[in-house]
Amino acid sequence: MTRIAIVTGGTRGIGEAISVALKEQGMTVVANYGGNDEKARAFTDRTGIEARKWDVGDFDACQAGCAQVAEEVGPVDIVVNNAGITRDGTLARMSYDDWHEVMRVNLGGCFNMAKACFPGMRERGWGRIVNIGSINGQGGQYGQVNYAAAKSGIHGFTKALAQEGAKAGVTVNALAPGYIDTDMVAAVPEPVLEKIVAKIPVGRLGRAEEIARGVAFLCSDDAGFVTGSTMSINGGQHMY
C-alpha cells in the first residue's frame, strides 16, 4: 500500500529534502508551496514530485487543497508541516503585521493542515503528522519573539494533538532543527553566522538531508510507538 504525503513548504531547502526522502521511502508525495512558481516548477523537473500551490495560513485554502489532493491522488496519510516564514526584529521595532503573519503561517498552518487531514487519518486508523519546530522555539532567540512564539506553540500543539490521535493509530510528533545550511541561514551576515557555528558543539551547520532522515523515520511504520515527542537535530547546540 502506497502512503500519500503532503509536505508544506516542500519545494525548497529542508522541505525539498523531506519531500525527496519520503519519495525514496516509496511514498507518493505532494509538495505544497506558497509563492515562487518558477522554483516550484524547477523542483518538480528535478525530483519528479508534484507541487501544488496554496497558502497554509489560509484555512479555506487548506481545506480545498487537501480535499483536491485526496480526490485526485488519494487519501492523505502523512502531513509534514514544514512551511515557515520569518519577520525578524526586536519587539520595539516589530509591527503587529510582522507578529501576526508569522503566527498565521507558522502556527496557524499546522492547525489548518491538521484540521483538513486528521479526521480522515483517524477514520482509517493510521496517520502521521510531523510538525517542524525550531531550536529557537526551544531556547528563544533575540529579535524573534514572533518566530520563537510560533515554533514554541508548535511543540505544545504537537503534544496535545498526539493525545487525540494515539488510540486511533495516528502519531503526532515534532522535529526541532538547529541551524541548517539553507537559503534562510545563508542570508545571515557572515560574522553572525561564525558566532552561531562557534556555539554548535559538532562545529558545523546541519544539512537538510539530516533533518529529512529524522522526518522519514517519524513518518514510517517503525515509529508507531513514538508520539507527542520532539526530536532535536541541532548538533548539540541545545540540550534538555
Residue numbers annotated as active site: 147
Q: Please provide residue 174's backbone torsions phi and psi, each rounded to the nearest 5 degrees.
A: -120, 155
Residues 6+ positions from 205 with CB-CB distance below 8 Å:
179, 180, 181, 185, 197, 235
* C-beta of residue 165 within 8 angstroms of C-beta of residue 172: yes
Spatial separation of the C-alpha atoms in residues 217 and 223, rounded to whole Å:
6
DSSP H stretches of helix in the chain: 13-24, 37-47, 59-72, 96-102, 108-124, 135-139, 145-165, 183-186, 190-198, 208-218
> Between the CA of residue 6 and those of 131, 196, 219, what are the distances in Å?
12, 32, 11
* C-beta of residue 166 within 8 angstroms of C-beta of residue 125: no
Spatial separation of the C-alpha atoms in residues 179 and 156, rounded to whole Å:
21
